[in-house]
Amino acid sequence: MSLTPAPSTDENIERAAGHLRAGRLVAFPTETVYGLGADARNGEAVAEIFAAKGRPAFNPLIIHVPDVETARTWAELGALAERLAAAFWPGGLTMVLNKRVGGELSELVSAGLPSIAVRVPAHPVALSLLRKANCPVAAPSANRSGHVSATTAAHVAADLDAAALAMILDDGPCAFGVESTIIDARGDAVQLLRPGAVTIEALAKVAGTVVKGASASSHGAMARSSPGQLESHYAPAKPLMMNVTQPRPDQALLAFGALPEGYAGEVYNLSPSGNLTEAAANLFAGLRRLDETTVKSIAAMPVPMDGLGLAINDRLKRAAAPRS
Ligand code: TXA
Ligand code: MG
């Protein structure tokens, strides 16, 4: 059964905003493609996005906000970012920026990275929804993993399971039909991470030089822990072992479910009750916490390979891979 899209009346937008605040998922139109949104402060709601998309890996997500003032509460906009925001927001430009410390965004939104991707969409329904919800909305394109991005409400309904989302707001086909342009705007020059709705020429007029391609950078924790690795993939600096049932005393334990009998070492439990949604929501915060301890390595307990367990194991596997 697919969910019947709801026309984008004020009343329905109000209902959709209520669903977001209650931790449920809502698909909504933007001028680029339809987004599958969740309250970015709610880790379990964000985890449900990955479950709904059937995505076997955690990619960092874009947060959507109604204006540049709100963007400034979640991210640090330098001089370059301010100029770009003035020129292109609202619109099809997503900027990767430094996350404000002490904010309440779920670590899962940025997949553990110190950066955050932010966009102010130029669509009246999206803007109205964001204002009414009054929370940052994490949203990837509203399609199943591996499928093309949905550009109509009917595509969303056909692609995603009705049980996974509370509502699809329908405002007809998207004007652009291609995703936003993503840039890293933390340095002095724009780095293009994904071409999209805003052209390189338009960016260059405002920003001068646009450096193409490289999404690896010298910013933040990644460069420190594993040079050369793409920054869009956080991994702990400490070595990690998977599927450990009997951790050694010199290991910190990333637990799932009941702890091994008698274990008294450093521990972070992803989900004491063995709930995969809760575990996904806690994954990056847990890795970070254990990475900050003085123990030599991290031992991760087995996590079942179904539903969100696939994405959790994917991330643990990357963290466990030998580093050069
Ligand atoms: O037009 C769009 O951008 C649509 C609408 C809904 O806004 N969204 C979209 O999201 O296309 P998604 O999740 O399909 O693509 C987001 C991309 C991913 O490739 C992700 O790796 C990158 O943005 N990204 C997000 N946060 C990042 C970060 N902190 N650093 C580097 N890349 C990031
Ligand atoms: Mg996508």
* More reliable by pLDDT, 42 or 213: 42
Tell me the two tokens of residue 81.
């970012």
The CATH code of the domain that includes 164 is 3.90.870.10
Is there a single domain that holds both residue 246 and residue 191? no
Among 196, 229, 262, the domain-final residue is 229
| Mutate which of 94, 194, 231 for ligand 1 pocket (most atoms within 8 A of beta carbon) | 94
Order the strands of the 240-241 sheet from edge to edge. 240-241, 297-300, 251-255, 267-269
Sign of CA dihedral 94, 96, 98, 99: positive
**Do 161 and 47 reside in the same domain of the chain?**
yes
What's the whole-number mean pLDDT along residues 148-172? 96
Angle, to 10 degrees, between the axis of helix 276-291 and the axis of helix 309-320? 20
Residue 230, pLDDT score? 53
Among 18-27, 144-153, 210-219, where is mean pLDDT lowest? Answer: 210-219
In percent, the amount of the chain with pLDDT more than 70 equals 93
| Structure tokens, 277 | 């949604």
- Same domain? For 165 and 292 the reply is no
Tell me the average pLDDT across 301-310.
97
Asked if the model's pLDDT at residue 244 lies above 80, the reply is yes
| Domain end point (choices 229, 259, 284) | 229
Same domain, 110 and 88: yes
In the predicted model, is pLDDT for residue 22 greater than 60?
Answer: yes
User: Could you tell me the pLDDT band of residue 231, with boundaries at 50, 70 and 90?
Assistant: low
Tell me which of 183, 206, 229 is where a domain ends.
229
Distance in angstroms (rounded) separating the CA atoms of residues 12 and 6 = 7
Same domain, residue pair 172 and 295: no
Q: Are residues 201 and 262 both part of a single domain?
A: no
- For the chain, the domain total comes to 2
Residues 32 and 132 in one domain: yes
Q: How far does the centroid of ligand 1 lie from the alpha carbon of residue 292, in Å? A: 28
pLDDT of residue 2: 87
Q: Whose CA is nearest to atom 10 of ligand 1?
A: 140
276 and 219 fall within a common domain: no
Whether 51 maps to a domain, the answer reads yes
Specify the residue with its C-alpha closest to ligand 1, atom 13.
140
Residues 252 and 202 in one domain: no
CATH number (domain holding residue 288): 3.40.50.11030
- Tens digits of residue pLDDT in 205-216: 999 989 986 553
CA of 263 to the centre of ligand 1 (A): 40
Do both 292 and 194 map to the same domain?
A: no
Query: Per-residue confidence at 182, pLDDT binned at 50, 70, 90?
Result: very high
Q: Which domain holds residue 246?
A: 240-320
Query: How many whole angstroms separate alpha carbon 141 and alpha carbon 117?
Result: 14
Which whole number is the average pLDDT over 27-48? 98
Atom of ligand 1 nearest to the CA of 94: 3
Nearest CA to ligand 1 atom 32: 232
Q: Assess whether 254 and 199 both reside in one domain.
A: no
Average pLDDT over residues 216-226: 37
**What average pLDDT does the structure give for the chain?**
92
Residues lining ion ligand 2 (Cβ < 5 A) are: 141
**12 and 41 part of one domain:** yes
Task: Specify the pLDDT at position 217.
Answer: 40
- Helical (H) or strand (E) element with 183: strand 181-184
List the structure tokens of 232. 């869009």
Q: Which ligand places an atom closest to the C-alpha of 34?
A: 1
Rounded CA-CA distance 222/216 in Å is 9
- Separation CA 126–CA 137 (nearest Å): 10
Residue 235 lies in a domain: no
Give the pLDDT of residue 102: 82
Residue 229's pLDDT is: 44
Distance 207 CA to ligand 2 centre (A): 26
pLDDT of residue 323: 67
Distance 124 CA to ligand 1 centre (A): 21
Numbers of helices and strands, H then E, in the chain:
10, 16
Does residue 1 fall inside a structural domain?
A: no
Judged against a pLDDT cut of 50, whether residue 220 lies above it is answered with: no
